[in-house]
Structure 1
Amino acid sequence: MTKAVVIGGGVAGLATTALLLREGYEVHLVEQNEHLGGRAGTFELDGFRWDTGPSWYLMPDAMSHFFKLCGTSIDDHLDLVPLEPAYRVIDDHGEHLDVTSDIDAMAELFESREPGAGAKLRAYIDSATQVYNLAIDGFLYTNFTNFIPYLSPGVLRLLPKLLANLSTSLKVKVNTQFRDTKLRQILSYPAVFLSSDPSHTPALYHLMSHTDLVQGVNYPRGGFTVFINALISLIDDAVLHLGTPVTAITTQGRNVTGVQVGSEFIDADIVVSCADQHHTETQLLPASLREKPETSWKNKQPGLSTVLVLAGVKGELPELLHHTLLFSSDWDEDFRKVFDGSTSEFPASESIYISKTSATDADVAPAGHENLFILVPVPADVSIGHGSAYGKESELVGRIAQAAVAQLGRWAGIDDLESRIVVQRTIGPADFADRYNSWRGGSIGPSHTLAQSAFFRGSNKSRKVDGLYYAGATTVPGVGVPMCLISAENVLKRLRGDNSVDRTLT
């Protein structure tokens, strides 16, 4: 039996641990916080419960595949509720549109706002589906160690289309086909799920529209904490070290030997770091074995951070669906504040996201109340400060939260929203840095720019330390819960010497 240490108990760490256990490894999972789940956390107060991380259940095929790979079924663990409409969009004039996963209905909606846009949407979605399937079949479940599959007739036939979608941005692709601002925003916003600015995201990622407009949006009843508990149920045989920060990855020559946790040493034949890769490279490895020293991060895009507002509200809020998005008409300025690195007196987007899981789940709020999770994109900058959920709230986080609540009330027509809030807590960029060692306080992970996508994103195996591997949102294939599951599978494929580009069957 080979011994492995997995650093980090988030989605990727739990998934990696589960797969290594099934492979016959003795696995020690080391997590610096007292709980498992990482960013997919939960917060409870006064009878309210909020997911504090992922809240969109997308790519159900990837989710189901992972649990099947672990010898079980996702249906044995989750009660998935289809959300229809999938989400509501509200603009700064109070107009709202409901987005569904019915292509016919969406084509009709697009056509009603812009003649000819219905047919264009159908073509756009057909393209998104084609590229999504190509990504699943050849670009996500792979370590890019074998390029022969990319010379197949099917891939070569699509090569001109792939190159065209890599050479332009998502913003340009959408804006050249659609004129209506709201329609443009609906098709461009998925870039935010990739921690990216649409103007710097390759048009290839229009595949994201397949996930919400074709596959649909679900909600795991009980929230993502139920999903985390499902992953935890797969790792009963692991040795857990909670509340245990890793202080160093130890080596002998070029070979990994284990990890140091305070005064204790845990030996290992392999180490899989599911922690933030910047933290792993710049803090846990000796300088001579850092493949990505601090200087190499200077030109990388860390993605966005967020100020999260967790609010418990008295009374019903029919103006909001389970998922609601506020889209500002000053769209470009919103992204400039968050992504271009310039200073702003008030560095917060007005295009924000609200989750009201009490719309679907009665157990997350006391009777006669709603729970709101308000996500405000901000720059990845720890100086914005902490929230009040885990300590003292910074002045700037407080102002951003107050502005977001007031904005939501105005735009959604909930005039008395602020006075109806009975409990409120916040989370800021410095909390992400403290709790998850996230680079610059980013809340999702590095952006999916062209230079940070596919094999350009880096390798999941250290080139300087034999036996050191990476999984999670900060490495390949990218950010998001499904990608973290895939990253765990790719580590398994790497260990097996599996150079295929297909999903693992057993």
Structure 2
Amino acid sequence: MKKAVVIGGGVAGLATTALLLRDGYEVHLVEQNEQLGGRAGTIELDGFRWDTGPSWYLMPDAMSHFFQLCGTTIEEHLDLVPLEPAYRVIDEHNERVDVISDIDVMAELFESREPGAGAKLRAYIDSATKVYNLAVDGFLYTNFTNFIPYLSPGVLRLLPQLLASLSTSLKVKVNAQFRDAKLRQILSYPAVFLSSDPSTTPALYHLMSHTDLVQGVHYPRGGFTAFIKALISLIDDAVLHLGTPVTAITTNGRNATGVQVGSEFIDADIVVSCADQHHTETQLLPAALRTKPEKTWQHKQPGLSTVLVLAGVKGELPELLHHTLLFSSDWDDDFRTVFEGFHADFPASESIYISKTSATDTDVAPDGHENLFILVPVPADTSIGHGSAYGEESELVGRIAAAAIDQIGRWAGIDDFQERIVAQRTIGPADFADRYNSWSGGSIGPSHTLAQSAFFRGSNKSRKVDGLYYAGATTVPGVGVPMCLISAENVLKRLHGDKSVGPTQI
């Protein structure tokens, strides 16, 4: 039996452990925090329970495929609730637009706001669906070790469209087709799920609109806490090392031999680091064995960070749906603030996201109360500070949280919103750095710019250390829960010498 050490107990670490166990490995999973789940954690206070990370359940096909790969089904583990409307958009004038995962309904909405936009939306979504299917079949479940499949007639037929989508930005693609500001925002905002600015995100990623407008938005009852529990149920045979930071990846020449944890050594035939790749490369490896030394990160984009506000509110909040987005009219200024360092004195976006899980789960808040997860995009900058969830809140994180609460009250028309908050905790960029070793305190992962997408994002295998592999949001194929599951499968493909593209046949 071969032995593997997996570093990091987040989604990618749990998924990698599950697949390696099923493949016959003895697996030691090492996690520096006391709980598994990584960013997909949970906090409880005064009868409220908040997920602290992922909240949008997208790409259900990728989710289902992973559990089938593990010999089970998603339905055996999760109760998935379709959300209709999928989400609500509110602006500073309290104008509300509800987004429905139905193309006919959305085409009518687009047409009502801009003559001719309904037909344009249908063409846009048709393109998004084709590109999404192409990505799944050829660009996500692969290590780019075999380029012959990309010479197939299907890919060559779409090549002009692909090249055009790579040579322009999502912002340009959307703005060229639609004039209405709200419609532009609805189609551009998915870039944030990619930790990216629409102006630097390749138009190829308009495929994201397929995930919410065609596949639909779901919620696993129990939240992503339930999803993490489902993953944990797949790794009963793993040896867990919790509260155990890895201090070094050990080597013999160019071969990985295990990991150092304090004064102890865990030997292994292979090491899979699901930790932040910047941390892995610059802190866990000796300088001579770093594929990506510090200097190679200087011109990379770490993506966005966030100030998270976990709020327990007395009384009902019908103004907010399960998912609600506040879209500022200063849209471009918001992205410059987050990605270009504008407004350093108050580096927070006014385009924020709110998840009211109490709309779907009755046990996340006391009777007569609501549970809110508020996400404020900020730059990936640890100097913004810590929140109150794990220690002392910085002055700036406190100001950003207060401003977001005030904004929600004004924009959503909840006059006494601040006074109704009975429980609150915050999380800041420094918390992401401390708890997850995230590069620059980023909360999602490196942006999906052209230079950081597909095979440009890097390899999931070290070029200098044999037996060292990478999985998670900071490597291929990218950020988000589904991508982390796919990254685990790609490690298994790499180990098997499987050069196929597309999901593993089950």
Query: TM class, shorter-chain normalised?
Result: over 0.9
2:363 counterpart SS class = helix
Rounded to whole Å, the distance in 2 between the matches of 1:467 and 1:251 is: 10
Structure 2 residue 272 is the aligned partner of structure 1 residue 272 = yes
Corresponding residue for 1:187? 187
Deviation at 1:344, TM superposition (A): 1.8
CA distance in 1, matches of 2:124, 2:233: 40
Query: 2 CA distance for matches of 1:341 and 1:267?
Result: 43
Report the count of equivalent residues: 506
The residue that corresponds to 2:13 in the other structure is 13
Deviations 1:111-170 (A, max 9, x none): 000000000000000000000000000000000000000001110111000000000000
Separation of aligned partners in 2, 1:130 and 1:42: 36
2:307 matches 1:289:
no
Kindly state the Cα deviation for residue 255 of structure 1 after the two structures are TM-superposed.
Answer: 0.3
Asked if 1:39 is matched to 2:47, the reply is no
TM-score (norm 2): 1.00
What is the aligned-residue identity percentage? 89
In the other structure, the counterpart of 1:117 is 117
Cα separation, 1, equivalents of 2:79 and 2:167: 41
Query: Residue 383 of structure 1 corresponds to which residue in structure 2?
Result: 383
TM-superposed CA distance for 1:341, in Å, is 3.4
Structure 1 residue aligned with 2:437: 437
Distance 2:17 2:190 in 1: 30
2:341–2:347 CA contact under 8 A, matched in 1:
no
Deviating beyond 3 angstroms after TM superposition, the runs of 4 or more aligned structure 1 residues are none
Any residues of structure 2 matched to 1:14-413 within 5 Å, and which?
14-342=14-342, 344-413=344-413
Quote how far apart the aligned CAs of 1:310 are.
0.3
Separation in structure 2 between the aligned mates of residue 479 and residue 57 of structure 1, nearest angstrom: 13
User: Structure 1: how far apart are the matches of 2:392 and 2:42?
Assistant: 19
1:149-200 alpha-carbon deviations (Å, 9 max, x no partner): 0001110111000000000000000000000000000000000000000000
Instruction: For residue 505 of structure 1, report the CA deviation from its aligned partner.
Output: 2.2
SS at match of 1:375: strand
Inter-partner Cα distance in structure 1 for 2:25 and 2:308: 38
The two structures have a TM-score, normalised by structure 1, of: 1.00
Distance in 1 between the 2:117 and 2:158 partners?
A: 25
One-letter code aligned to 1:467: G
Per-residue displacement from partner, 1:197-254 (whole Å, max 9, x unpaired)? 0000000000000000000000000110000000000000000000000000000100
Three-state SS of the structure 2 residue aligned to 1:243 is: coil
What is the rounded CA distance, in whole Å, between the counterparts of 2:345 and 2:32 in structure 1?
Answer: 34
Counterpart-to-counterpart distance in 2, 1:47 and 1:66? 33
CA-CA distance at 1:345 after TM superposition: 1.1
| 2:458 alignment partner in structure 1 | 458
1:276 partner amino acid: D
**Once superposed, what is the RMSD of the aligned Cα atoms?**
0.5
Counterpart of 1:27 in 2: which secondary structure? strand
Confirm or deny: 8 A CA contact 2:86 2:217 kept in the other structure.
yes
Q: Distance in 2 between matches of 1:251 and 1:342?
A: 43
Q: Secondary structure of 1:139's match?
A: helix
Q: CA deviation at 1:502?
A: 2.0
Kept after mapping to 1: 8 A contact 2:270/2:467? yes
- Report the AA paired with residue 19 of structure 1: L
1:375-395 Cα offsets, whole Å, 9 max, x none, are 000000000000000000000
Structure 1 position 343, deviation (Å): 5.4
Q: Distance in 1 between matches of 2:55 and 2:502?
A: 28
Aligned partners of 1:121, 1:295: CA distance in 2, in Å?
43
Which secondary structure state, in structure 1, belongs to the residue aligned with residue 326 of structure 2?
A: strand
Give the drift of 1:50. 0.6
Which residue in 2 is equivalent to 1:502?
502
**Aligned-partner Cα distance in 1 for 2:416–2:120:** 41
d(CA) in 2 for partners of 1:445, 1:100: 28
Name the CA shift for 1:374/1:300 in 2 (closer, same or farther; >3 Å): same
Secondary structure, counterpart of 1:366 in structure 2: coil
Structure 1 alignment gaps of length 5 or more: none
- List gaps (5 residues or longer) in structure 2: none
Q: In structure 2, what is the Cα distance between the partners aligned to 1:58 and 1:9?
A: 21
1:83, 1:294 → 2: CA distance? 43
